[in-house]
Amino acid sequence: MITFVVNLHPKMPSLALAEPLLYPLRKEGELEMVFPRSGDIAQRLDLAITEVRKRLSSDQRYKRFQMVFITHIDPDMRSPYQDSISARMLQIRKLFLDSPLLGNINPISNHLIVLDHVNAQEDRKFPSSARGVLLDAWRLDTQGFIEKTNAGEPNKFFAQEEQLNALDMIWRNKVSARIGEGVVVNQGFKGLPADLREQVRDTKEELRHLVERGLLHKACLEPGRYSYECYKGIPYVDEQILEDIKADFFTNFDRIIEDPQRYSAFLPSKALKASIARYVGMHSLENANTFNVIRLSWLNMSHKLQYRSHIKLAVLITLLSRSVSTILDLATGGSGNCHLSSMSLDEQRIAQKWEAYKVRLINKKRKLEGILRQPGAVALSTSDEEHCSINSSLPLTQSSSLEFPFIKRNADLQLWNDWNEGVTKSLEDYQIEARRKLKEGMLSIRRKGASQKPLELKPLELEHHLEDLDRAKNDLQTQLNHQFIIGERAIDWTSFKNEQEALLRPRLLGRPDKMALIYILGFSLLAVWIGSANRAFAGRTDGQVFAYYALTLVVAAIIVAISFYFARRKWMHDIEAVTMNVTNRAYEWRKNINDDFEGQKKYLSDLCRLNTVRQNHEQAEGANDELKQHAQLLGHHVQEVDKHIEQADQLLNVLSVKSSMQGPSALAESMGQDDRSTFDEYLPAYLNEVYSPVSLFPEPDDEDAENKRLMNAFPIEDPIGYLVSDLRLEPDALFGANIK
């Protein structure tokens, strides 16, 4: 079960020095504190609804829960219908317990702790000096009725005393006066004389008329007479309450009429006040069935008394959370649902334990500050970049050359087509090989993966390492922004081949074959030789003529050979220009594929390196952030420890008990003791044992603590009972039921 403590006291933002006493309950999930810093009662109760629903929905362990509301008796209250204890009860019922926002979840019990700023613990009657609203509120709470202090006061209650007294006068004059000697009263109403019975009936109707049409008529609640507003839109008294009071009064009146022996002592005003008290005040039927009230004296006389009161309140909250059955058993006796907490603290033990608590906090502060000054090294596991290299290569070779002879052949065009088909296939194969090697490289990167290397860095070294990684990451990202992966180039060799074939075909077909070449050369030689014949040599000797024609033939052959050479050279140059262009284009395409392969290989390798650097950067950045967060958490806990040390100092300063641990030697000895309290810097203060002084108290089964608890009127089954020398929850003589 979990206990929700809701503070409705606007001038008490926290439990101050006593709050650490409640840390164990909060740590075990048995207590949830709802202490708003500001806000009126509606805002505080709305926040309480939110916290209750959130906590119960987030943890299915809690099948049952109880509420503890903290309110106060304000010496400067404005209206009894707004600031009295019964007014607070009505506000809690309407704004919290009956709120549709709470849904169908209901607490098993509701406790109301009333911090009394007016009355001391030993007071058994309301201060005689109290006047005005304060006195009216006490009367309204305890009696359900506000009486006039003097006759000159205006009416402050819907039922006016003059009208109540008139009821008594009518009953006395018309009924009680006739009950005397000679009237038999022990035989019931039917045993009365007929005229007296008639007189009783007439008197009853007269009283009914006065109550229904005057004293408890709904007109008494009309605005302008007196404000009965408890909170915005919530009246302290409404028409339904008036009807319930009338019904209760007349039911009891009918019982009185049936018993004439009670006529003489009967007063209608007293009976009506009793009926009003059943529906108005802190002891009304609904309030008695809803709340268990515990009043705790809370006089703001000095810091010492205030700190004592805070500790007592913490003890009381612990008792309500851990010993609910004990509290419920107390709801008996003449006080109804209201009790007074009478508690005495063992200040000697408080001083001893708080001194030890303070020393433990000082030790913890020193340790935390030491860690902040010299933080330890950060362990990293970095990834290397060796696996990102793709070692496969793609050989770049020239395609086979295409050559044609000067002599025309029938297979030259077929050779051209076959050569082009070979080029097309080799380019496609080259492209496929490039694709496969890229895939193999990517698979190799995945298969090998990055090897991890342990690395320990101090905080400053970690910052430098992070800067280097950041610079490397930016450089790689810049390089990759200028790189890109292109798709495979479409190999459309046929179109290029057709263009070149249109240039090559005329040159191939224009070449001579063997016979044509023989005829051309022969006729050319013969023509040149014949044209060179000279008849002037006719009378010359045969030798001279032969020599002349032989020389002429040689010269003609040389001329024809030179002409043939230049003609062949020009023709073959044009053919070779086309074939060379085709061969170079095939090489360019192959080189483009190779360049794409190398570019994609570099892109993938750089991308792998970038991912590796990013991983290392993220890890280093996370470690650096965690280091800073850890330092912030430690700094926060240093502040928390300082705050708790200051609170411990304040408590020790106001206690007029000399601690047994005071003195340099005792303090030095305690500083050297091993602190076994658990501490986790990632948890808030209330979840860390070092902040809880209760962890220094003996366990409940400790013999000394057991003897201490046996001395108490009500044993506290919690270590916090170590601080209490006496605890009594007695019927409240000042605010209990049936107070006169």
Alpha-helical runs (H) found in 541-688 = 542-654, 664-671
- pLDDT (0 to 100) of residue 154: 63
- According to DSSP, the residues that pair with 86 across neighbouring strands are none
CA–CA gap between residue 345 and residue 331 (Å, rounded): 24
Q: Which of 162, 128, 159 is nearest to 281 (CA)?
A: 159
Give me 117's structure tokens: 């700023």
3-state secondary structure of 681: coil
Contact 97, 110 (CB under 8 A): yes
Q: How far is CA 723 from CA 15, 134, 711, in A?
A: 17, 34, 13
Q: What is the mean pLDDT of each run of 10 residues along the chain (740 residues)?
A: 93 85 91 90 94 87 89 89 93 93 88 88 62 86 78 68 84 83 76 86 89 76 70 87 90 89 88 90 91 86 75 90 65 60 84 90 92 81 70 70 62 70 76 79 69 76 81 80 64 68 62 59 62 57 68 68 66 66 76 78 78 80 83 91 90 68 47 63 89 84 52 65 81 72
Alpha-helical runs (H) found in 404-513 = 412-448, 459-481, 493-509
Instruction: Dump pLDDT digits (tens) for 263-317.
Output: 888 899 899 889 989 999 999 999 999 999 999 888 766 666 777 888 889 989 9
3-state secondary structure of 112: strand
Is this structure's pTM higher than 0.75?
no
Give me 318's structure tokens: 């612990």
- According to DSSP, the residues that pair with 33 across neighbouring strands are 5
**360: number of Cβ within 10 Å:** 26
User: What is the 8-class DSSP label of residue 76?
Assistant: T
3-state secondary structure of 180: coil
3-state secondary structure of 729: strand
- pLDDT (0 to 100) of residue 251: 92
Q: At 725, phi and psi to the nearest 5?
A: -90, -25
- pLDDT (0 to 100) of residue 61: 79
Q: Which of 77, 89, 69 is nearest to 3 (CA)?
A: 69
- pLDDT (0 to 100) of residue 538: 54
Give me 570's structure tokens: 């020009």
Burial class, 663, CB count within 10 angstroms (exposed 0-12 / middle 13-18 / buried 19+):
exposed
DSSP E strand boundaries for 300-416: 338-345, 378-383
Instruction: Dump pLDDT digits (tens) for 83-98.
Output: 999 999 999 999 999 9
- pLDDT (0 to 100) of residue 474: 84
Q: Which of 395, 364, 304 is nearest to 655 (CA)?
A: 304
